[in-house]
Structure 1
Amino acid sequence: MTEKNEQVPSVGDEKFETFKELLSNFVLSHQWSNAFCLLVDEVWWKRREAFEDVWLPYGEKHAELNGEPIVFVRSLDHMKDMSKMCPFVTFAFDWSTTHPSLKAGLRSKSVSRLRVLRLTDGDVDDEVCGWIAKAKHLKGLQALALSGGEITHEGCQLLAKSKHLSQLRLLDLSNNEIGDEGCKALAMSKSLGNLQEVRLSGCEVGLDGLKLLAESDLFSKVQSLDLGFNQLGSEGCHLLSSSKLTALQKLCLAENDLGEEALRELSNAADLKGLLSLDLSCNQIGKGLDVLLRSPFLGELKELYLDSCELGNDGCESFAEVSVLEKLCVLDLADNEIDDDGCRSLASAKSLSELRFLNISANDISSEGGSELVNAASWSQLEVLDLSNCDISSEGCVGIRTSHSLENLQVLDLFGNKNAEEEDMESDKRSLLHGLQIDSEYGGVEIFWS
Structure 2
Amino acid sequence: MGGICSRKREQEKRDNGVQGAVSGRYCKSGSSKWLAFAASFSLSALECPIGRGNCPSLLELCIYKIRKDIEKHSSFSTLPRDLSQQIFNYLASSHSLNEASLKAFQDCALEDIFLGEYPGVKDSWMNVISSQGPSLLSIDLSGSDVTDSGFCLLKNCLNLQALTYNYCDQISELGLNHISGLSNLKFLSLTKNNAVTAEGMRTFSRLVNLMKLDVERCSQIHGGFVHLKGLSKLESLNVRCCKCITDYDMKHISGLASLKELQVSCTNITDVGVSYLKGLNKLILLNLEGCRVTTACLDSMTAFLVLSHLNLSRCGISDDGCEKFSDLTKLESLNLDSCKIGDEGLTHFTGLVSLRRLELSDTEVQSHGLCHLSGLTELQSINLSFTSVTDSGLKRLSRLTSLKSLNLDARQISDSGLSYITGLTGLTHLDLFGARITDLGTISLQYFKNLRSLEICGGGLTDTGVNNIKGLISLRLLNLSQNLSLSDNSLKLISGLTALVSLNVSNSSITSEGLQFLKPLKNLRSLLLESCKVTALDIKDLKSTALPNLLNFRPDR
Q: Same fold (TM over 0.5)?
A: yes
Contact 2:440 2:465 in 1 (8 A): no
Task: State the partner residue of 1:155.
Answer: 273
Contact 1:73 1:93 in 2 (8 A): no
Query: CA–CA distance in 1 between the matches of 2:444 and 2:177?
Result: 54
Query: CA–CA distance in 2 between the matches of 1:42 and 1:281?
Result: 53
Change (3 A) 1:399 1:227: closer
Letter in 2 for 1:154: V
Does residue 404 of structure 1 match 2:495? yes
Task: State the partner residue of 1:84.
Answer: 182
Among 443, 453, 470, the alignment partner of 1:357 is 453
Letter in 2 for 1:201: S
CA positional deviation for 1:106: 4.8
CA positional deviation for 1:33: 9.6
CA positional deviation for 1:392: 4.7
Letter in 2 for 1:146: V
Task: State the partner residue of 1:233.
Answer: 342
Counterpart mapping for 1:12-31 below 5 A: 13-17=82-86
Counterpart mapping for 1:246-265 below 5 A: 246-265=353-372
CA positional deviation for 1:172: 1.0
Task: State the partner residue of 1:183.
Answer: 298
Letter in 2 for 1:282: F
Task: State the partner residue of 2:130.
Answer: 45
Query: CA–CA distance in 2 between the matches of 1:254 and 1:111?
Result: 38
Contact 1:73 1:79 in 2 (8 A): no
Does residue 331 of structure 1 match 2:424? no
1:394-418 residue CA offsets vs partner (Å, 9 max, x unmatched) = x43x742783221222211223445
Q: Which runs of 4+ in 1 moved over 4 A?
A: 18-21, 32-44, 68-73, 75-83, 108-114, 421-424, 426-431
SS in 1 for 2:484: coil
Contact 1:152 1:177 in 2 (8 A): yes
TM-score by length of 2: 0.57
Among 465, 480, 483, the alignment partner of 1:390 is 483
- Report how many residues are paired: 369
Task: State the partner residue of 1:275.
Answer: 379
Contact 1:232 1:256 in 2 (8 A): yes
Query: CA–CA distance in 1 between the matches of 2:452 and 2:429?
Result: 6
Task: State the partner residue of 1:288.
Answer: 392
Query: CA–CA distance in 2 between the matches of 1:276 and 1:328?
Result: 9
SS in 1 for 2:323: helix
CA positional deviation for 1:277: 1.3
Among 185, 194, 200, the alignment partner of 2:312 is 200
Greater helix share, structure number? 1
CA positional deviation for 1:195: 1.9
CA positional deviation for 1:343: 2.8
Change (3 A) 1:142 1:370: farther
Does residue 104 of structure 1 match 2:241? no
Query: CA–CA distance in 2 between the matches of 1:69 and 1:402?
Result: 52
CA positional deviation for 1:253: 1.8
CA positional deviation for 1:374: 5.1
Letter in 2 for 1:238: T
CA positional deviation for 1:140: 4.1
Letter in 2 for 1:387: L
Query: CA–CA distance in 2 between the matches of 1:79 and 1:337?
Result: 59
Contact 2:467 2:490 in 1 (8 A): no
Counterpart mapping for 1:419-430 below 5 A: 419-420=531-532, 421=534
Contact 1:264 1:291 in 2 (8 A): no
Change (3 A) 1:174 1:87: closer
Among 211, 224, 245, the alignment partner of 2:333 is 224
Contact 1:306 1:333 in 2 (8 A): yes
SS in 2 for 1:119: coil
Task: State the partner residue of 2:240.
Answer: 119
Change (3 A) 1:69 1:342: farther
* Unaligned runs of at least 5 residues, structure 2: 1-72, 91-111, 139-159, 188-210, 510-530, 544-548
CA positional deviation for 1:81: 4.2
1:296-345 residue CA offsets vs partner (Å, 9 max, x unmatched) = xx1211111221252022223334xx32x122111111111223332343
Root-mean-square deviation over aligned CA pairs? 4.1
* Unaligned runs of at least 5 residues, structure 1: 1-6, 22-31, 57-67, 432-450
CA positional deviation for 1:369: 5.1
Task: State the partner residue of 2:262.
Answer: 144
1:215-241 residue CA offsets vs partner (Å, 9 max, x unmatched) = x1xx11121111222232222222212
Query: CA–CA distance in 2 between the matches of 1:353 and 1:308?
Result: 23
CA positional deviation for 1:360: 2.0
Does residue 310 of structure 1 match 2:431? no
Contact 2:443 2:468 in 1 (8 A): yes
Query: CA–CA distance in 2 between the matches of 1:342 and 1:368?
Result: 13
Counterpart mapping for 1:46-65 below 5 A: 46-48=131-133, 51=135
Query: CA–CA distance in 2 between the matches of 1:42 and 1:80?
Result: 15
1:239-272 residue CA offsets vs partner (Å, 9 max, x unmatched) = 212x2x22211112222222221123323xx2x1
Query: CA–CA distance in 1 between the matches of 2:329 and 2:88?
Result: 40
Task: State the partner residue of 1:129.
Answer: 250
